């Protein structure tokens, strides 16, 4: 980078260290050089040397870059490159202290889970794939009704057996109208089985054994064509085809149906604790994201429907 007031030659030595001893890729080296040039520009604007940087200046610099539009992820990368420089300076005796200890980038906002609208979820559940054979159609329909109607994780769904047993991770109780699953952390829970899901499961179970080897029955509720337990991958592919056939505007995956279940139950009931129990969340904090999703839904409804929400044109 060259010698300049406040910018010593050992910065170039640091880049050589990254290149030859750390063996960083050319792309990563270019990122470091760019971020160090950013640091140099900020220091030059204040007439500061590297050894004058302190925690107060560093926090102000991060806040300024954030205000200029740098995302938390970008700021984390910037700070990582700066820390590398200051660590090298301290280790080599060029600097007396490391000013970035404890300095962190702002936390990135967690994206809201993607959920289907009620209309799209119902359209998906009611769709009947005309290109699928009756066996696959019944299986996929029952899987979709359980994912949306019970809020199951995909691992919980494919782990279901047709009846309880000592080895069963989960099972379906048709007479009792319940689904029993083994969730994260080995936590068991029971979820009510709604009428639509019950009808779809009964239709699937009536033809489930067709074409299978009767001498080697399997306890799995959902099966692949060779009689083995259905895999999450096959289920995801089937759901994508089903959603495409239903004319949905987005790619649908199993967890989106779990999000849709939680969001729609919360919209109807307002019972956050109840949704927590249905989802099998260990803490209420994990469930609270759906209150944000519910508020977003309400805000969109207000913006589109309330006469005082519309801007004058």
Please name the residues in contact with 107: beta carbons below 8 A apart, sequence gap of 6 or more.
72
Same domain, 61 and 192: no
Same domain, 127 and 266: yes
pTM: 0.61
CA 156 vs CA 151, 184, 187: distances in Å: 10, 9, 11
Same domain, 138 and 67: no
169 in a structural domain: yes
142 in a structural domain: yes
Closest CA to 62 of 38, 46, 44, 45: 38
At which of 51, 72, 91 does a domain end? 91
Same domain, 162 and 242: yes
The domain containing residue 66 runs over which residues? 10-91
Measured CA to CA, the distance from residue 265 to residue 260 in angstroms comes to: 8
Within the chain, which residues score under 70 in pLDDT?
1-6, 109-113, 213-215, 288-313
Same domain, 301 and 157: yes
What's residue 110's pLDDT? 66
Number of domains in the chain: 2
What's residue 109's pLDDT? 64
* Residue 183 phi, psi (nearest 5): -95, -160
User: Which strand (E) or helix (H) includes residue 114?
Assistant: none
Two tokens at 37?
Answer: 């040039």
Same domain, 123 and 37: no
User: Which strand (E) or helix (H) includes residue 312?
Assistant: none
Greatest extent of the chain over all pairs of C-alpha atoms, in Å: 84
Please name the residues in contact with 154: beta carbons below 8 A apart, sequence gap of 6 or more.
147, 232, 235, 236, 254, 255
Catalytic residues, by residue number, are: 153, 184, 255, 258, 281, 290
3 in a structural domain: no
What's residue 309's pLDDT? 44
Same domain, 82 and 197: no
225 in a structural domain: yes
What burial class does residue 221 get, using C-beta atoms within 10 Å of its C-beta: 0-12 exposed, 13-18 middle, 19+ buried? buried
Q: What angle do CA 192, 194, 195 make, to 5 degrees?
A: 145
Q: Where are the alpha helices (DSSP H) in the chain?
A: 10-20, 26-46, 55-67, 72-91, 118-126, 134-150, 154-158, 195-207, 232-245, 254-269, 272-279, 284-287, 289-305
At which of 91, 107, 140 does a domain end? 91
Measured CA to CA, the distance from residue 168 to residue 188 in angstroms comes to: 12
- Given a contact cutoff of 8 angstroms between Cβ atoms, the answer to whether 272 and 281 are in contact is no
97 in a structural domain: no
| Model confidence pLDDT, tens digit, residues 61-82 | 999 999 898 898 999 999 999 9
1 in a structural domain: no
Q: Which CATH number do you get for residue 148?
A: 1.10.443.10
What's residue 116's pLDDT? 85
What's residue 215's pLDDT? 67
Q: What angle do CA 158, 253, 300 make, to 5 degrees?
A: 135
Same domain, 28 and 177: no
102 in a structural domain: no
CA 216 vs CA 74, 96, 212, 267: distances in Å: 56, 73, 8, 45
Same domain, 283 and 164: yes
At which of 75, 91, 107 does a domain end? 91
Measured CA to CA, the distance from residue 263 to residue 182 in angstroms comes to: 22
């Amino acid at each position: 980078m060259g010698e300049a007031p406040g910018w010593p030659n050992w910065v170039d030595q640091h880049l050589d260290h990254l290149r030859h001893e750390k063996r960083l890729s050319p792309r990563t080296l270019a990122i470091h050089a760019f971020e160090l040039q950013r640091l140099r520009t900020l220091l030059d604007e204040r007439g500061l040397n590297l050894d004058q940087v302190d925690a107060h200046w560093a926090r102000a610099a991060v806040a300024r870059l954030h205000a200029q539009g740098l995302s938390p992820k970008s700021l984390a990368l910037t700070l990582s490159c700066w820390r590398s420089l200051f660590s090298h300076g301290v280790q080599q005796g060029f600097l007396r202290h490391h000013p970035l200890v404890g300095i962190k980038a702002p936390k990135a906002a967690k994206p809201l889970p993607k959920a289907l609208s009620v209309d799209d979820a119902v359209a998906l559940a009611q769709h009947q794939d005309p290109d699928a054979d009756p066996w696959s159609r019944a299986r996929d329909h029952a899987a979709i009704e359980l994912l949306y109607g019970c809020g199951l994780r995909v691992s919980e769904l494919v782990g279901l057996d047709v009846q309880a047993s000592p080895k069963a991770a989960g099972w379906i109780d048709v007479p009792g109208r319940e689904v029993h699953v083994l969730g994260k952390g080995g936590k068991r829970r029971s979820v009510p089985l709604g009428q639509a899901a019950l009808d779809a499961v009964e239709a699937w179970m009536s033809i489930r054994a067709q074409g299978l080897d009767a001498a080697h029955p399997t306890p799995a509720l959902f099966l692949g064509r060779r009689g083995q337990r259905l895999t999450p991958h096959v289920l995801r592919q089937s759901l994508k085809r089903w959603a495409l056939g239903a004319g949905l505007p987005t790619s649908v995956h199993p967890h989106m149906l779990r999000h849709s279940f939680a969001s729609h139950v919360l919209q109807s009931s307002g019972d956050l604790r109840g949704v927590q129990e249905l989802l099998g969340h260990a803490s209420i904090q994990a469930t609270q994201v759906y209150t944000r999703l519910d508020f977003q839904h309400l805000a969109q409804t207000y913006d589109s429907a309330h006469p005082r929400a519309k801007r004058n044109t």
